[in-house]
Structure 1
Amino acid sequence: MSEADAPLLTSRSGRVKTARRLARRVSRAETRLFLAEGPQAVREALTVPGCVREIFAVAAAAEQHRDIRAAAARQQVAWQLVDDAALASLAETVQPQGLVAVCRFLDVPAPDVIGSGPLLAVCADVRDPGNAGTVIRCADAAGAAGVLLTGSSVDPYNGKTVRATVGSLFHLPIALARDTAEVVAQLQMAGVQVLAADGGGELDLDDAADDGTLAAPTAWLFGNEAWGLPAELAALADHRVRIPVHGRAESLNLATAAAVCLYASARAQRRPRHVGRMAGASGPVGD
């Protein structure tokens, strides 16, 4: 029987039912598996060896995304053709994009992230899955070495979080840790300064860029989207840094603040340490 003649799996199929359980956090925790929805997420997941365990696809998506199908075949990943109802039962979006992958957990021990590079992001008690996913995406775009989700932060394998990363979940290491204060101490012991993003901070972000503070190995500490960082946690940081607001906006949301801070550090860390005089200038101008 050719694949075209093979019966499609339905929402009543045992394999589909098993995968559908991964929409629940308890099932994800028990199996250490999660769902990645859409071609972008599935394509990026396949770049991580051994990450993808199984792919469910409707016929149209299988035809449209032959590159994904080929990558799955090279890794001997099971490819299951399903009907529209089965795919819809696995997807969380209103208009599913035809592909859902079952993937293994990707998180690593916190020490692996703490020593992984000069720019890190720490999300402390970040509860909104969209915000957490966007911070991971911003960290990836800024060239950060990893992200730590601490305290009671949202599950990074929540479907909305995975979608908000737009594939960045598969690009950089993620660590989970319950004790944020302990993570801050470990970062500082490793020679990484901790900068708390705080609207009431004593140090202005622009000044931190100008005085060289941002050029040092840095972990940015971001707090809960509703109440920010607790005072006792912010006090553990090397500096509390505020983003200057030049207009009349009351504040910036978490994801926007994270993008501004991470890119400010990325720019400072990539800037030449010593900037020479302008070409042709032989000395001070004046009498």
Structure 2
Amino acid sequence: MRKHISGFSNPTVKYLRSLREKKLRKRAGQFLVEGLRLLEDARVSGYVPRTLVMAEGRDPHPLIEGLEREVAGAGGEVITTTPDILSKITGKSNAQSVVGVFDEFDTSLGAVDRSGAKIWLVAQDLRDPGNLGTMLRTGDAVGAGGLILIDDCADPFSAEAVRASMGALFTQKLARARWDDFVPWLRGGETRGGSGQLVAASLRDAVPYRGADYQAPCFIMVGNESQGLPEAYEAECDLRVTMPMKGRADSLNAAVAGAVLAYEVLDKLDA
């Protein structure tokens, strides 16, 4: 189905704008993805938007035309509108010429198959959506199974996190849980591919991160950007490792630390 919208007060425009707000996005169970590159990454990964919104007067592109056919073939809605209205929807003065609306994923722990990958990333109370998106990109780069968000993390379906993931949102399994639910799940996994080794960068009873005894499936955990991991969470870890800090800084950015550790684990498990 294809239609044209020319008015700012159109109910569809108001609904699409509302997806920029976390509370309304959660209520709707949908999120926005802006730009042809991300939409193509989603399509290649098997995700087709429910709604495709395109600016009229845009330059023709075979990928957009193919995407439009897939959306229509899947029973979705294709909308054309003015560039000004598209900017209103995205909240950006220089909005891309195409936007997609996707259903949020199943983010329950029960949907995670830990046997599907040697490495998993875990973030606890991570507040920066850019860091969250970066961790998704890291997971994709090292062949991780996905990212598990613990406690009050940033919204992975926000525009900032989606953009920062550079398409990895669609290649990585995403799960959300409270710590008190995550630990029993992790430790009780004998019937779901085996329990996992929980690893974190730490200064408490830690060993050098290079050459540590990493085991699959390895769950690499990073904490809040400013506070790090709570002491009780670190105590639950099977392995705590430390990274050398040779300058004045006393710590790495949370997402960077996760990436450094993930590549070391990858090297160890692939040896």
Cα distance change, pair 119–7 in 1 and its aligned pair in 2 (3 A): closer
Deviation at 1:188, TM superposition (A): 3.1
Offset at residue 74 of structure 1 (A) = 2.5
1:20 partner SS = helix
Which residue of the partner structure matches residue 124 of structure 2? 124
| 1:258 alignment partner AA | G
In the alignment, the residues of structure 1 paired with residue 264 and residue 93 of structure 2 have an alpha-carbon distance, to the nearest angstrom, of 36
1: CA distance, partners of 2:160 / 2:25: 14
Which one-letter code corresponds to 2:26 in the other structure?
A
Deviations 1:196-250 (A, max 9, x none): 1225551211131xxxx12432001111011000001110010112222244433
CA distance in 1, matches of 2:105, 2:82: 29
Task: Provide the rounded CA distance (Å) in 2 between the counterparts of 1:17 and 1:136.
Answer: 30
Which runs of structure 2 are paired with 1:163-174 in the superposition (5 Å)? 163-174=163-174
Tell me how many residue pairs correspond in the alignment: 261
Query: Is the CA contact 1:58–1:99 (under 8 Å) kept in the aligned structure 2?
Result: yes
Q: For structure 1, list consecutive stretches of 5 or more residues without a partner in the other structure.
A: 272-287
Is residue 252 of structure 1 aligned with residue 230 of structure 2? no
Aligned 1:82-161 pairs, distance under 5 A: 82-113=81-112, 115=114, 116-161=116-161
In structure 2, give the amino acid aligned to 1:125.
D
2:67 pairs, out of 61, 67, 71, with: 71
Report the counterpart of residue 44 of structure 2 in structure 1.
Answer: 47
Q: CA, structure 1 residues 8+112, in 2 after alignment: closer, same or farther (shift >3 Å)?
A: closer
Cα 1:199/1:98, change in 2 over 3 Å: farther
> Structure 2: 5+ residue runs without aligned partners?
190-194
Q: Could you tell me which residue of structure 1 aligns to residue 56 of structure 2?
A: 59
Letter in 2 for 1:187: L
- In the alignment, is the contact (CA less than 8 A) between 1:28 and 1:34 conserved in 2? yes
CA distance in 2 between partners of 1:26 and 1:194 (Å): 32
Give the TM-score, by structure 2 length: 0.88
Supply the distance in 2 between the matched residues of 1:130 and 1:50 (Cα, whole angstroms): 22
* Corresponding position of 2:261: 261
For 2:231 and 2:91, locate their aligned partners in 1 and report how far apart those are by CA, in whole Å: 37
The one-letter code of the counterpart of 1:70 is G
CA contact under 8 A between 1:196 and 1:241: conserved in structure 2?
yes
1:12: how far off?
2.8
The question of whether the paired residues in 1 share the 8 Å contact of 2:48 and 2:70 is answered with: no
2:32 is the counterpart of 1:28: no
Identity between Structure 1 and Structure 2 (%): 29
1:284 paired residue number = none
Note the alpha carbon deviations across 1:247-266, whole angstroms, 9 max, x for none. 44332101111111111112
Deviation at 1:157, TM superposition (A): 0.8
- In the superposition, the TM-score normalised over structure 1's length comes to 0.83
Which runs of at least 4 in structure 1 moved beyond 4 Å after TM superposition?
A: 48-51
Aligned residue type for 1:195: V
AA partner of residue 13 (structure 1)? N
Counterpart of 2:192 in structure 1 is none
Contact map agreement 2:197 2:215 (CA 8 A) in 1: no
